[in-house]
Structure 1
Amino acid sequence: MATPARYSTARLKPRPVELELRFRRKSESNRLFMNRQKLRIRFRKEGDLRLISHRDLARTLERLFRRAALPLAMSEGFHPHPRVTFPAALGVGIEGMNEVIEVLLDEAQDPEDVRQRLLENSPPGLMITDVTELDALANKARVESATYEIPIPAERREALKGAIDELLNKRSYPWQRVGRAKPIDLRLSIEDMQLVEDRLQIRLWVSQQASARPREILQVLGVDDLEYQGCTIQRTEVNLTS
């Protein structure tokens, strides 16, 4: 039997020129990274802007940064995209009173100057409220909980109080979500729920698994029709773990 030919691996070793190019690319990448700046931006999304989808909101914010001449860093690869992170997407039709995104800029900027430039170019319904600088190596923010509110008409409040007590007194509340094979436990997602003056306030835990949605809680409480009567759900707070 013929002995298999042995192929030299010498040609597979990178040539000095290739090594030099790799070193230059890595050095350039490190230089660019050192100049980058990570920002956490708080904003409000209200009015007619609440009716746009999460994807449309992302595009709106990307255009906003371009109009404000702020250098968003781009991801690497064949299809680069802006380095913008949304810790928690907001449902269509819900107003966000204290939403959050994290962005990476190619060049460091003064946070207050960033806020002013974004404000000057923001469309109606989008209000930039705060810009904070973060450590460029900090982990992405994770949402711990979110608070939602909706106004309750006077004639519905007494019955709602009873429904709130009934749900909170349950140890478990299985809920079959459309399109999901297994039911989720709505009760496990509820951190707190109460009627504060004329508004229902719901604070929900956010987990990596399926979490309850505010409209599902409203349906269980029997007040999901209020949106059709002109009441608007607001997400008033997004609490982060980092």
Structure 2
Amino acid sequence: MARQRVPEGPPPAPAVQKVSVRYAKRGRLRFSSTRDFQRALERAVRRAGVPMAFSAGFHPHPRISYANAAPTGAASEAEYFQLQLTQQCDLDALRAALDESLPQDMAVLRVVEAAPGALADLLQASVWQLDFEGVTLETITDAVATFMDRAELLVTRMTKSGVREFDVRQAVLASDVVLVRAGDADGRDLVRWTMTIQHTTPAVRPIDVMTGLTELTGLQVPRSPLMTRLAQGILEAGGRVSDPFDA
């Protein structure tokens, strides 16, 4: 009978502290993927000297967990991950060290002691902001009103499980359209659509909502809107999204 191999050396140090981190990705780094950020974060914790806990086995890896990352191409002010540490750390000092070690367009906004349970369970909805340039307020207002008047709007998307059809209309709980800037020197308006999207399975993304809106209304825009997640967290009564760290 073959002998079972066991890793050599002492076992990894146990985790004594677990922290939850909120960060933002902005500017050009909105085009970074989740895997890009994971690599950047692993380098950052090494540069910052964070006392990371590691998994056991032949290929130890830092004990970092991620929750509901924004899609590639979208900016965000509300991304989350958790770290397990082998030493108790001052939270303000940890935030500053991580922030300094990450790329310029990524900012660590808040670090708190992790609450019991899974962080992902507290991320029930997101508030998204879509900025349109080169279209009029009336064009976007009329298209969004047509969308919101629907009881159901199905779109299809390729997922890991294959092609899925799902309802994007029911996921949009609140919606507001405003004119941010009247025509600039080139005569282009800036129109902002803010919406609250409930997290579902499969997840409804702003690009899915745009697909449904375009198919429904025939909306044509000169360029894709800039998408920014403003918040994600607990879905409260009335459609308000509260900070999961304040739960």
Q: What band does the TM-score fall into relative to the shorter chain?
A: 0.7 to 0.9
2:88 paired with 1:102: no
Alpha-carbon contact 1:227-1:233 (below 8 Å) kept:
no
1:54-80 alpha-carbon deviations (Å, 9 max, x no partner): 101011011111100001211233332
3-state secondary structure, aligned to 1:117 = helix
Structure 1 residues 37-46 or 170-179, which shifts more? 170-179
Structure 2: which 5+ residue stretches go unaligned?
1-9, 181-191, 235-243
Partner Cα separation in structure 2 for residue 104 and residue 227 of structure 1: 42
1:131-172 alpha-carbon deviations (Å, 9 max, x no partner): 11124xx21212201111122337432122122122222111
2:112 paired with 1:132: yes
Alpha-carbon contact 1:94-1:235 (below 8 Å) kept:
yes
Q: 1:115/1:156 Cα in 2 relative to 1: closer, same or farther (>3 Å)?
A: same
Summarize the alignment of residues 33-182 of structure 1 with structure 2, pairs less than 5 Å apart.
33=15, 36-135=16-115, 138-142=116-120, 143-153=123-133, 155-178=135-158, 180-182=162-164
Amino acid aligned to 1:139: G
Residue 41 of structure 1 deviates from its aligned partner by 0.9
Residue 225 of structure 1 deviates from its aligned partner by 4.3
2:180 paired with 1:200: no
Which structure would you say has the larger Rg? 1
Amino acid aligned to 1:167: F
- Tell me the equivalent position of 2:238: none
Report percent identity of matched pairs: 24
Structure 1: which 5+ residue stretches go unaligned?
1-24
3-state secondary structure, aligned to 2:170 = helix
Task: Kindly report the root-mean-square deviation, in angstroms, between the aligned alpha carbons of the 2 structures.
Answer: 2.3
Amino acid aligned to 2:199: V
Q: Higher strand share goes to which structure?
A: 2
- Tell me the equivalent position of 2:211: 219
3-state secondary structure, aligned to 1:74 = coil
Structure 1 stretches of 4+ with a deviation exceeding 6 A read none
Partner Cα separation in structure 1 for residue 78 and residue 222 of structure 2: 23
Q: 1:224/1:130 Cα in 2 relative to 1: closer, same or farther (>3 Å)?
A: farther
Partner Cα separation in structure 1 for residue 223 and residue 69 of structure 2: 20
Q: Higher helix share goes to which structure?
A: 1
1:83-112 alpha-carbon deviations (Å, 9 max, x no partner): 112111221111111221111111110000
Alpha-carbon contact 1:175-1:185 (below 8 Å) kept:
yes
Partner Cα separation in structure 1 for residue 135 and residue 106 of structure 2: 33
